[in-house]
Chain A
Amino acid sequence: MDRRRFLAAASASVALLAIPRRARAQEEGPQVNTGAANAPMESERYKPVQLAAKGPPIMDTNARDALEHHLHCQCGCNLDVYTCRTTDFSCEVSPAMHKDVMALVSGGYSAPEIMNAFTVVYGDRVLMAPPSSGFDLAAWIAPFGALGAGIALVVLLLRRWHAPAVALAAIHPVAGDATPGEQARLDALVHRDDR
């Protein structure tokens, strides 16, 4: 084997080795907005959602786009169907889901009916927010429940703190006994401290 052939063979080997290495190296990088572009077997993630037409359309384009904001693209990204199809132009799933939405809109279905049809086919994962039923209801209740509990705790603490203060004031009534001059000095002090 002459030198030129040897170099050619070596280059080819390096190139063959380089392909999987490069792929592996990139896997460890930050996956910025990958989703659709890098998801394997995209076509397998799409499932048709089709129903027979039942009447004339009752939704306009804006309502359709708003609906698509509530459907999760199944390409592996974290985006909704509308955002994915108008952002990640290499995605094949969101345009397919969009076509299904358009067909259902043309078939006279309402937004809740379309959402329901998608949920039947894909499951709850197709929704951009947890359903408000079953265990997932906890997702909606917990934040407000926790806040309500916090407010109740503050009010409870205030009452507990306030009670001894009121009792003490009854024995040594000082709070309302300040002369106008004393009150003015106190106000001035508080005002100064505010700064």
Chain B
Amino acid sequence: MILIGELSLWVALLMATWGTTVGFAGGFSRRAELIASAERASYATFGFVALAAVGLWTALLRSDFSFRYVASYTSANLPSIYKFTAFWAGQSGSLLLWAFILSGYSAIAVYTNRSRNRELMPYVTATLSAITLFFVMTLCFGSNPYERLDWIPPDGTGLNPQLQNPGMAIHPPNLYLGYIGTAIPFAFAIAALITRKLDAGWLSAVRRWTLISWFFNTTGIILGMWWAYVELGWGGYWAWDPVENASFLPWLVNTAFLHSIMVQEKRGMLRKWNVTLVVSAFLLAILGTFITRSGVISSVHSFAQSSVGYWFLGFLVIAFAVTVYLVSTRLHDLESKAELESLVSREASFLFNNLLLVGIAFAVLWGTLFPILSEAVTNNKITVGPPFFNKVNIPLGLALLALTGIGPLIAWRRASLENLKRQFTAPVLAGVTTGAALLAVGMRDVPALIAYTLCGFVTGTIVQEFWKGVGARRRMYKENPVTALLRLVARNRRRYGGYIVHVGIVILFAAFAGLAFKEEFDVTLKGGDTYEATDPYGNQWRFVSQGVSRYEELNRQTTAVLLDAYRNGKQVGVIKTEKRQYTDSRGVPTFQPATEVGIMEGVREDVYVVLAGVVGEDTAEMRITFNPLVWWVWYGGMIMAAGGLIVMWPQAERRRAQAGYSTVLQPATHT
């Protein structure tokens, strides 16, 4: 199987080359047999890349240390689940995962469009084959997972302990599914630009794929945050690391597109902008991969410096040049069919929402790349870390949160003063009440107060929208409130699914603002010692050390400390924090000692304990942190994902038409 996998990679290279060539040739010459051949090549490429992936998994699970990749990322005593996930632990394996997902996506896109978008499909197929070709070529010539060692080591190096975590098992595939999902809309955009079929047709195909990409990107980012929080031990979940930033950029641009596409569907506007967003999301995904793999920017969890990064840079330059050429020669075809009539309109609010999302994306990209620019200009090394990103992005993020509440309240085209008063009264009241209540209970942190006031406002908007919708259904169909709510969402999935995503956003912002009240304590305790602390809510905590214990597990030696935790005099649990020294099957230490964080989770706050070290036999040095509202980050993320699923869920064309998404509103001056 391993040999078949190795050979399959080379056959996939041939298949992708063939698919690219005959796809473009078929499209330009309009020869049906060539187009059909390109589509079959797309399926075949997927098949061969899948075989290559199965081959590598087989080698990993069999601990075949004759392969450099297997020896580098696994050891004989590594649990099987992590042997499986070691597939994406290293450079070449993760590139193979890229190729695997991309070829799978391509095959699905070709299959689901076998009787739709036929004029676009030759170019879509060819573009996707070209991207797959690039990845398979990089695998074959730049970073081959099937590279053999000229000797067989007795055991492998093992997997980095911080990757031995369930979060790391599922976070990278999710993120890759999101990243690679941007390739399909990109291919459709390229096809639409080549054929000049730039009407709403290509958008419907693109929208669903963008949603898929957005959904996986969202879940990938949230899972990555969770992994960082439970595994890295610094007490937070987002550090504005270049690799984190790289994952955030396509998400921001996709989110902008999912809003602005509505303006094009409704008003025929923002056509150039939408094409730009679609291609930018893909190019940013490639740029992110370049950042991760080239080593040009220092990151806490990037791959080691290698030439592969420059393959990506070359690909990025080519893709960018092709895109710029196509867009610049099709500007006339991308002219808007309508014009913005008022700044106080739904479309204007979407436009400002887009500006902010793209502005944040620019700020993140700028901050990520600025150290290179600064060094090139001033020959002086600088760091652009969380203080910069927080200072720049917090005001932009709060403005975006405000627009999340404002947008749905404003009518399309032009809102009247009366309409604005009617729509805004309740949400503004909700926001002001929230802010005033928090001020009254003693909250004095200004950014947090603004954030919670805006959260109240956006929540007011969402509740009002649901309230009105449910009320209308109850009046029209005499339904009970629950049925009315369920049917309201089911019949208008895009609109109300979107509001559910907004609920998730509100929860996330509320949780982020909670970090302003984080409290940390450095503690040294012997067995039986007690430490008392007050949390941000004013609760009195007492921690009693049960002492230090040392024991061996499957592939590690563990030093653990148990703390009995008491809140206001009542025992609420036991927190265990560990320091682990991983070893290979011969008991040889493989990595630096890793810390396993002890977390007592709660709706109001987490108690987060990190074992710094052990002095003597029984004295533990620890950091105890009260992290307010962290729980809500994960649940806000889940709600966003659930909302995304509702929006994605297929809806019959008739109902979509009823819901207004096939309607293009004509400009008022034409009526």
Chain A residues engaging chain B, CB cutoff 8 angstroms? 14, 17-18, 21-22, 25-35, 37-38, 65, 69-70, 72, 76-80, 83, 86-87, 89-90, 123-131, 134-136, 138-140, 142-144, 146-147, 150-151, 154-155, 157-158, 161-162, 165, 168-169, 174-175, 190, 192-195
Asked if B382 and A143 make an inter-chain contact with CB atoms under 8 angstroms apart, the answer reads no
Question: In the complex, what's the smallest C-beta–C-beta distance from B515 to chain A, in angstroms?
Answer: 12
B495 at the binding interface (Cβ < 8 Å)? yes
Which of B188-196, B201-209, B336-344, B631-639 interfaces with chain A?
B336-344
How many CB-defined contacts (below 8 Å) exist between A and B? 217
Given the contacts A25-B71, A193-B665, A87 and B234 also touching, CB distance less than 8 Å: yes
CB distance from A156 to the nearest CB of B (A): 11
**Interface check B111, CB cutoff 8 A:** no
Given contacts A27-B304, A128-B388, A142-B366, contact A83 B383 (CB under 8 A): no
* B382 / chain A contacts, CB cutoff of 8 Å: 124-125, 127, 130-131, 136
Contact partners of B556 in chain A: CB under 8 A: none
Q: Is the CB of B367 within 8 A of A161?
A: no
**Are the C-beta atoms of B374 and A34 separated by less than 8 Å?**
no
The distance from the CB of B240 to the nearest CB of chain A, in whole angstroms, is 9
A139 CA / B153 CA spacing, docked (Å): 49
Closest A-B pairs by Cβ, 5 of them: A143-B363, A25-B72, A161-B339, A128-B385, A193-B660
Cα separation A38 to B591 with both chains bound (whole Å): 10
Chain B residues 325-363 with CB under 8 Å of chain A are 339-341, 343, 348, 351-352, 355-356, 358-359, 362-363
B671 touches A31 (CB 8 A): no
Identify which of residues 650-671 in chain B touch chain A, using a CB-to-CB cut-off of 8 Å: 659-660, 663, 665, 667-669, 671
Closest CB in chain A relative to B283 CB, distance in Å: 17
18 residue pairs bridging A and B, Cβ less than 8 Å apart: A22-B153, A28-B304, A29-B91, A29-B303, A30-B301, A33-B300, A76-B298, A89-B613, A126-B383, A127-B382, A128-B385, A136-B382, A139-B374, A143-B362, A144-B392, A190-B411, A193-B412, A194-B660
Residues of A within 8 A of B235 (CB): 83, 86-87
Q: Tell me the bound Cα distance from A38 to B592 in angstroms.
A: 9
| Given A25-B157, A150-B358, A195-B492: A69 in contact with B387 (beta carbons within 8 A) | yes
Of the candidates A21, A32, A125, A165, the one whose C-beta lies within 8 Å of that of B160 is A32
Main secondary structure of the interface of A (DSSP, over half): helix
Which of A18, A27, A175 meets B154, CB within 8 Å? A18
Q: How far is the CA of A48 from the CA of B153 in the complex (A)?
A: 44
How far does the alpha carbon of A80 sit from the alpha carbon of B659 in the complex, in Å?
51
Contact between chains at B343 and A169 (CB < 8 Å): no
Known: A79-B300, A161-B339. A140 touches B392 (CB 8 A): yes
Find out whether the CB atom of B413 lies under 8 angstroms from the CB atom of A190.
yes
Neighbouring A residues of B72 by C-beta, 8 Å: 25-26, 28-29
**B612 interfacial contact with A, CB 8 Å:** yes
Q: Tell me the residues in window 373-399 of chain B with beta carbons closer than 8 Å to chain A beta carbons.
A: 374, 377-378, 380-388, 391-392, 396
- CB < 8 Å neighbour of A139 from B149, B300, B303, B366: B366
Interface residues of B in 392-441 (CB under 8 A from A): 392, 396, 411-413
With A29-B72, A161-B339 already in contact, the answer to whether A135 and B520 are too (CB < 8 A) is: no
In the assembled complex, B163 has its CB within 8 A of some CB on chain A = yes
Asked if B595 lies at the interface with its beta carbon under 8 angstroms from chain A, I say yes
Q: Assuming A70-B387, A150-B359, is B411 touching A194 (CB within 8 A)?
A: yes
- Nearest CB on B from A150, distance (A): 5
B585 interface contact, C-beta 8 A: no
Query: Do A143 and B387 have beta carbons less than 8 Å apart?
Result: no
Considering the complex, give the chain B residue whose CB is closest to the CB of A143. B363
Q: Which B residues touch A131, using CB under 8 A?
A: 382
Residue B593 lies at the interface, judged by CB distance under 8 Å to chain A: yes
Q: Is the CB of B374 within 8 A of A130?
A: yes
Given A83-B234, A86-B522, A135-B374, check contact A72 B385 (CB 8 Å). Answer: yes
When chains A and B are docked, how far (Å) is the Cα of A79 from the Cα of B240?
Answer: 10
- B153 touching A18, Cβ below 8 Å: yes
CB pair B374 A136 closer than 8 Å: yes
> Complex Cα distance A156/B356, Å?
17
Cβ contacts B490-515/A at 8 Å (1 or 0 each): 00100100000000000000000000
Report chain B residues within 8 Å CB of A79: 234, 239, 300
B301 contact from A25, A32, A128, Cβ within 8 A: A32
Give the residue name and chain of the A residue nearest to B232 (CB): A33
Residue B551 is within 8 A (CB to CB) of chain A in the complex: no
Tell whether A78 pairs with B304 under 8 Å between CB atoms, given A72-B385, A123-B381, A127-B383: no
Residue of B nearest to A142 (CB): B366
**B233 within 8 A of partner (CB):** yes
Contacts of A89 in B (CB 8 A): 593, 595, 612-613
Task: Assess the B383–A147 pair: CB atoms within 8 A.
Answer: no
B239 to chain A, nearest CB (A): 7
Roughly how many angstroms separate A78 CA and B153 CA in the complex, as a whole number?
A: 33
A residues within 8 A CB of B60?
none
Specify which chain A residues have a CB less than 8 angstroms from the CB of B669 in the assembled complex.
165, 168-169, 174-175
**B84 contacts the other chain (CB 8 A):** no
Assess whether A125 is in contact with B660, with CB atoms less than 8 Å apart.
no
**CB contact under 8 A between A29 and B374, given known A86-B610, A162-B341:** no
**Smallest distance from the beta carbon of A60 to chain B beta carbons, Å?**
14
Q: How far is the CB of A140 from chain B (nearest CB, A)?
A: 7
B267 CB to nearest A CB, Å? 11
Given contacts A128-B386, A193-B663, A194-B660, contact A147 B359 (CB under 8 A): yes
Given A28-B306, A134-B378, does the pair A143, B665 have CB atoms closer than 8 Å? Answer: no
Closest residue of B by beta carbon distance from A182: B671
Looking at A72, A87, A162, which has the most chain B CB atoms within 10 Å of its CB? A87
Residue of A14, A27, A143, A161 contacting most chain B CB atoms (<10 Å):
A143
Do A30 and B163 contact each other (CB < 8 Å), given the known contacts A21-B149, A22-B157?
Answer: yes
Question: In the complex the two chains form, what is the Cα distance from A37 to B89 in whole Å?
Answer: 19
In the complex, what's the smallest C-beta–C-beta distance from A142 to chain B, in angstroms?
5
Q: Which positions 575-615 of chain B face chain A at CB distance < 8 Å?
A: 592-593, 595, 610, 612-613
* B residues in contact with A28, CB < 8 Å: 72, 90-91, 303-304, 306
Inter-subunit contact B412/A147 (CB<8 Å): no
